[in-house]
A = this chain, B = another copy of it.
Amino acid sequence: MPMKIALAQLNYHIGNFTDNTTKIAFEIKRAQQNGVDLIVFSELSVCGYPPLDLLEHRDFVNESLETVKSIARICTDIGVIVGSPTYNPNQQGKPLFNSAYFLYDSEIQHVVHKTLLPTYDIFDEYRYFEPNNDFEVIEFKGKRIALTICEDLWYNQPAPTPFGRTMLYTVSPMEELSRQKPDFVINIAASPFSYTRVNIKSKIFTENARKYALPVFYVNQVGAQTELIFDGGSKVVDHTGEVVDEMSTFAEDIRYYDLDTVQNRTYSKRDYKNHDIIERIHDALILGIRDYFSKMGFTKAVLGLSGGIDSAVTLALAVQALGSENVRVLLLPSMYSTEHSLSDAEEIAENLGVQYDIIPIKSIFESFKDELDSLFEGLPEGITEENIQARIRGILLMAVSNKFGNILLNTSNKSEAAVGYGTLYGDMNGGLSVLGDVYKTDVYKLAEYINREKEIIPNNTISKPPSAELRPDQKDSDSLPDYEVLDKILFQYIEKQHTIGEITDSGIDEKLVREIITKVNRNEYKRYQTPPILRISSKAFGPGRRMPLVGKY
């Protein structure tokens, strides 16, 4: 009898043991009925990834371990691999391991711990886990399985920092396991999406399969956990390094494979459409919004629609994620808002069929000025008054949020967030930032993609010069370079961590480069207080980028 293997790519909810177990148990049962020998769930599937400092609470770890035991009880005639933290029984080292549990015959048969613990960017695994240094293949139904956890297969990746081609790790778990002559490799993972890493990730599996001449079964988590978006895309690679099957991206998926036919490569080779990057970002953001709402227990959103491109794109994504009946918008014109801003905003609201209300902010602004009149006597108007307008809008949006339970979506983009072009407690408000990891030039591409079949976002919104409209005839270009140039500098500095010398080598004026980098560094304090930002790049503002506020650099 050939071995039948199921890969279960599911969307877990951190700490929601009931929901996670229900999903897992359902798929175990279904696989049993289909004669599956072994079903594989992703990394830390029982508790959801990343659990962060919940791992410092024994109640949490205990519940995860109890859940593993209760899952084991239903694994009568099927092998099951799930992930959970484990207590480190040694008197030395970190208190936990990041483990894969192999369940069979109603019992825990094997526990394999993770060796390579990513501790960079958004990853903090060494904060909690002791690395494993004990390697053993698992025997199951006459086959020898090399069971690995996520980065355990990533030994060969170049270090994700710009310090030459240094390799990040000093141990290779797969090298150790290969000495024990396994028949195939399983990799359970929780590997988040970033548009720059799609190809790197794919190479990891094909290269390992080829190097060790073993089929690789890779199961990734799918779904968003606050800012992190896990894209799924689980894969089966045969022993020659050929991708035999790739599962859905940004959606749950369960597929059954026959080990023998994978090894003999009798699967018909498929042509995978190489999704465009913008399409992937689009889909990632929709999943990010949807999961944030569903996992927080929210259904409805609100946002401020200015007539500009950022809020238009945010609205279109929100409607895709939550449905037009669950999204409402406020149009909040000031005395500096142009006629077309209001009409553009109305047009997109109507195109998408969302409820919109118009509240002019002029009279509230006047009442602020009246009260501040004596304090500010003799002083010219300026940034302060621009900020007051942005903050009045923030209050009005939060008032609707508080009164009706709609969560405020933030509409700032990454270019603005980088240089501090936004008002704290004003347009930087929100429960979730949708575009905070998308550069302005990519926001335009998203708008075009959204309009690929019909004009949802008015062409006028796309073609007019961007403006905050906080003073007469204001344009973004008054205080910023062209977004094409700005984004080039920002990408090299933030994502690539290039030196000033390297950035100017690409042909950009040194004075401008220094000016922009100074703006980025000076505005750390604003970004410290922004909402969580859906992460789609390899370096997003938020927990994956930790800069000192008081640093002088």
Contact in complex: A88, B166 (CB < 8 Å):
yes
The residue of chain B having its C-beta at the shortest distance from the C-beta of A364 within the complex is: B367
A221 proximal to B (CB < 8 A): no
A140 proximal to B (CB < 8 A): no
Known: A372-B396, A550-B291. A168 touches B87 (CB 8 A): no
How far is B126's CA from A170's CA once the two chains are assembled, in angstroms? 14
Contact in complex: B499, A58 (CB < 8 Å):
yes
Q: Contacts of A353 on B, CB cut-off 8 Å?
A: none
How far is B423's CA from A429's CA once the two chains are assembled, in angstroms? 12
A73 proximal to B (CB < 8 A): no
A162 proximal to B (CB < 8 A): yes
How far is B400's CA from A403's CA once the two chains are assembled, in angstroms? 29
How far is B51's CA from A127's CA once the two chains are assembled, in angstroms? 18
Report whether over half of chain A's contact residues are helix, strand or loop; otherwise say mixed. Answer: loop
A553 proximal to B (CB < 8 A): yes
A402 to chain B, nearest CB (A): 4
Known: A93-B169, A127-B120, A364-B364. A383 touches B359 (CB 8 A): no
How far is B366's CA from A339's CA once the two chains are assembled, in angstroms? 28
A124 proximal to B (CB < 8 A): yes
A543 proximal to B (CB < 8 A): yes
A57 proximal to B (CB < 8 A): yes
Contact in complex: B225, A52 (CB < 8 Å):
no
9-residue interface stretch from A21-29, A444-452, A457-465, A528-536: A528-536
A325 proximal to B (CB < 8 A): no
Contact in complex: B548, A225 (CB < 8 Å):
yes
The residue of chain B having its C-beta at the shortest distance from the C-beta of A164 within the complex is: B95
A56 proximal to B (CB < 8 A): yes
Contact in complex: A553, B54 (CB < 8 Å):
yes
Contact in complex: A163, B95 (CB < 8 Å):
yes
Contact in complex: A403, B376 (CB < 8 Å):
yes
Q: Mark A78-95, 1 if CB is under 8 A from B, else 0.
A: 000000000110111111
A460 to chain B, nearest CB (A): 27
Q: Contacts of A480 on B, CB cut-off 8 Å?
A: none
Q: Contacts of A368 on B, CB cut-off 8 Å?
A: 364, 395-396, 399
A296 proximal to B (CB < 8 A): yes
How far is B295's CA from A24's CA once the two chains are assembled, in angstroms? 52
Binding site for B on A (CB under 8 A): 13-16, 19, 48, 50-54, 56-60, 87-88, 90-96, 119-120, 124, 126-127, 159, 161-170, 224-226, 291-292, 295-296, 357, 359-361, 363-364, 366-368, 370-372, 375-376, 379, 383-384, 387-388, 391-392, 394-396, 398-400, 402-403, 424-425, 429, 431, 497, 499-500, 525, 528-532, 543, 545-553
Q: A51-B548, A53-B547 are in contact. List 16 more A-B contacts (CB 8 A).
A: A14-B552, A52-B548, A54-B548, A58-B497, A58-B499, A91-B166, A292-B550, A296-B549, A360-B371, A368-B396, A371-B396, A383-B402, A384-B402, A391-B394, A395-B395, A425-B425
